[in-house]
Structure 1
């Protein structure tokens, strides 16, 4: 069972569906399309759609269509494939995308704080441990930061490379 989590808690009325050959969005649902299908529809003038960015996709292809994107889902097919971190960071920092970015796939509790720092703000969570810890409010923290990100730390002293007088 997959649940959507944001920093405010679990979402109960999420209408987004990642479309596949087997799964299509219904009349009360919103479609998240693969990059090529999204660009095809966006080029025809459709808006209000979501787009799924897989690890090998070139996220900069979205640049001409960012105003038409309602949600970007970045795929984490395995815990050791971190290219979606780069996709989210690029969308926020360089392309200026301000709407929702969702992590989908292998979303593990230990990676959620890092995903938040990269600009991801919602999570499709199916991992039992992650679901339990998020429902208990047990999100791991990050004590030291080694680089700036799309979402800066509120504590300037947490950056390992900054001087503090």
Structure 2
């Protein structure tokens, strides 16, 4: 079972559906489309759609259509494939995307704080351990940061390269 989590807690009325050959968005749902299908609809003038970015997709191909995107879902196919971190960071930092970015796929509890720092703000969670820990409010922290990201640390002392006098 997939549950949507944000920092405010679990979402019960999420309308987004990743469309596949077998699954289509219903009348009360919103579609998350693959990059090619999204671009085709965006060129036709449609807006309010979601786009699914797989690891090998070119995020820059979405640049002309950023205002038509309501949600970006970045795919984490496995815990050791971090390309979605780069996609989220690129969307936030370089392209200035300000709407919702969702992590889908292999979302593990230990990676959630890093995903938040890269600009991801919602999570489609299926992992039992992650679901349990998130429901208990047990999100791991990051004590030291080695680089700035889309979301800065609130504690200036946590950046390992800054001197504190």
TM interval, short-chain normalised: over 0.9
Specify the alignment match of 1:62 in structure 2: 62
Task: Please report the RMSD computed on the Cα atoms of aligned residues, expressed in angstroms.
Answer: 0.3
Give me the whole-angstrom Cα distance separating, in 1, the residues matched to 2:7 and 2:111: 14
- Name stretches of at least 5 consecutive residues in structure 1 with no aligned partner: none
Specify the alignment match of 1:110 in structure 2: 110
Give me the whole-angstrom Cα distance separating, in 1, the residues matched to 2:89 and 2:107: 17
Deviation at 1:160?
0.2
- Name stretches of at least 5 consecutive residues in structure 2 with no aligned partner: none
Aligned length: 165
Give me the whole-angstrom Cα distance separating, in 1, the residues matched to 2:22 and 2:161: 49
CA offsets, 1:16-45, max 9 Å, x none? 000001100000000000000000000000
Q: Structure 1 stretches (4+) deviating beyond 6 angstroms?
A: none
Deviation at 1:163?
1.0
1:16 is aligned to 2:16? yes
Q: How does 1:1-165 map to 2 (within 5 A)?
A: 1-165=1-165
SS at match of 1:51: strand
TM score, norm. by length of structure 1: 1.00
Give me the whole-angstrom Cα distance separating, in 1, the residues matched to 2:56 and 2:31: 21
